[in-house]
Structure 1
């Protein structure tokens, strides 16, 4: 059945939002576990900062490579079958962790992460367009915020669940002893460490396969994009929509700042003397701040403040916090941890980041008409910022130090401020 978004009845809308919410939960669980994988692989595979951030690179570069093919797949098989295929591709990626662990082969782990990202590229192309179109445009940020809670709620659970599955109370002392061991003893210990990922990722693969089956037999309807106004029919391709292209760049920079704030926080705490076992909850603090941001969005938008104005406020707040991370020093004792205050500014970046994605997306796809699916895919390609910006951070951390490397955040937020106030209004590439 093909259904216009505006033709869905209340029951159909609730079912659809529920299924999409479940998808966002899966996105969060699979994506944000990287915050633990990065320092864990750094120890178990004996990696540099730069090499460890290949975890994020391999996972997210798939969005650049596979998003447009995903849009063609969706045009051919439809949304529902595309979702099923996406979940099964992800299940295959999780299974690749098994041979990778038994061989302690980092490249196979990266192949598994790329495959997981490929499945997510398909699912993200569907989910973000679906949740944007399924109701009132002025409440799009509110619906995206609800999905964000599902995503970041899973993100809070994922590092804690992975830590519970693979870390032991004695690991803190073990990690200190590894550099002092001889080659034979160190190899045996590292092999044992890496084999701990087999059980959790086997479970993840089974769950992803079963979710695909569930969606296949669910009543999730197909949708057609009803938005054919604003000149969409006169354009000859998505690149002729400047506000879309500029929005994709904003997405690229935004998601990069988000992943840097979450995936680097444990290594940053390590530079202050906090071990992986002690710092394992820090990514969850950042994600909790993000959930608070989503709750504010749901409460305030559009009743008290427009989604565009909230976007502008969050862009400015993100810029301010990124500067504070780089320039402020001083020890504080929070949550029984004595850390530099700049780390907590990094954690607080999760708050404005919550509503930046929700602000960019509706502005970027406005008026695309028949190009909505391709435009959605172009925006999803922007998620490769998750791959590239952490690598830049990792390289700067090796050259300078882990604190000064955070200057990479500042130009990112400057551009987001530009898009929030001016870039989204650009409707033509010609200069008049």
Structure 2
């Protein structure tokens, strides 16, 4: 694309408070939608493991198909945004997500795992376009030093969906799930077992059809919304003639590497907890992702209150890594039989107790909460005309969510589900 067509962002010289509030409401809605689609995977993985008769490694192809789309589609998404703008890009992303949701209908009818994976890839492709647009948008809509606070607010929308969606999925999809336990299916012949799995898979048709309708409707609303484009920024001094493009910015490259390992551990914490709980025969395994998301919401509250007033974005990042190491050690070393930790922390609220090691895995949500909000403004600082391309590079770092859970799944099949969580420690380190 020609140089003068490169989309560039800046903090507006005058940004009326009303415009910022309207923009944050619309972007908050989109973060909620992204959360619905993303954190449904934690409940979908053990569900598809039953429907398609998979082992742990095979079932985690769900995360691979979903998150690899971010790597493959990030640069095309940046090109689309340069051509159509951020507002139209958001609307187009929602429409592509709707198409992915529609693909779940033939997948559910056929119980064909490859079609489920194609549907997930399509859904995530639309999300990639959305993420490439809304993350730099929310960074650039106000002062940079408070960007982590704004992203924390958006993360609160995202993780609210992460709490609610597994609960809704469990109530709709997992009723009478004991009929589909490994022990129950083992008593049936091959034909009867396949018929029962197919019957379970067809439960997905209505919720994904409703999701598709909602996504198409919101795409139209966003297209005709009052969201404005961010004005262009002047050339960044000293960088305009570089042949390295976005790679000349070390903060961006390091940010992409940090996002790679961060998204990997976030997905492991959020999407494997249901599998792990099922392996420990936790009765409410279908809603365990909600535990992780609830802790993330608590972390976002800390970010909203403390950043930048008492905690800088850099120190928030360091504190998150240290907490992640402590909780990861707890996951691998805590008891899988006792539940004293969850009883002490959540028993007062009437939340069902879970094994201590599951509780430490859920607490990783708190450690992960401020990583994404801290990395984005730090990595995009000073990029000027390279902001759109830099955003695409950061989005490509989401590939960690495709690859690291696969490593976990392979290790869990070779050894044990609990021992495989050692993969978390070097990532946080």
TM over 0.5: yes
**SS at 2:168's partner residue?**
helix
Q: 2 CA distance for matches of 1:311 and 1:292? A: 16
1:285 aligns with 2:291: yes
TM-score (norm 2): 0.92
Which residue number in structure 2 is paired with residue 386 of structure 1? Answer: 401
- State the shift of 1:233 in Å: 2.7
Structure 1 residues 13 and 342, CA gap change in structure 2 (3 angstroms): same
Which residue number in structure 1 is paired with residue 306 of structure 2? Answer: 300
1:79 aligns with 2:68: no
Among candidates 213, 217, 226, match of residue 220 of structure 2: 213
User: What are the within-5 Å matches in structure 2 for residues 25-40 of structure 1?
Assistant: 25-40=32-47
- State the shift of 1:174 in Å: 3.8
Which ranges in structure 2 are unaligned for 5 or more consecutive residues? 1-7
Which residue number in structure 2 is paired with residue 132 of structure 1? Answer: 139
**SS at 1:233's partner residue?**
coil
Using the TM superposition, name which of 355-364 and 224-233 deviates more: 224-233
Q: 2 CA distance for matches of 1:234 and 1:326? A: 50
Among candidates 296, 312, 319, match of residue 313 of structure 1: 319
Among candidates 242, 248, 253, match of residue 245 of structure 1: 253
CA contact (8 A) 1:94 1:116 kept: yes
CA contact (8 A) 2:43 2:169 kept: yes
Which residue number in structure 2 is paired with residue 263 of structure 1? Answer: 271
Aligned residues between the structures: 410
CA contact (8 A) 2:323 2:367 kept: yes
- State the shift of 1:14 in Å: 1.1
Q: 2 CA distance for matches of 1:147 and 1:231? A: 33
- State the shift of 1:376 in Å: 0.3
- State the shift of 1:226 in Å: 3.2
Using the TM superposition, name which of 67-76 and 5-14 deviates more: 5-14
Please report the RMSD computed on the Cα atoms of aligned residues, expressed in angstroms.
1.7
Which residue number in structure 2 is paired with residue 409 of structure 1? Answer: 424
Among candidates 184, 190, 197, match of residue 197 of structure 2: 190
Q: 1 CA distance for matches of 2:9 and 2:288? A: 43
CA contact (8 A) 1:232 1:369 kept: no
**SS at 2:66's partner residue?**
helix
Among candidates 210, 216, 219, match of residue 203 of structure 1: 210
- State the shift of 1:102 in Å: 1.2
Q: 1 CA distance for matches of 2:395 and 2:48? A: 27
Q: 2 CA distance for matches of 1:131 and 1:185? A: 52
Q: 2 CA distance for matches of 1:238 and 1:317? A: 31
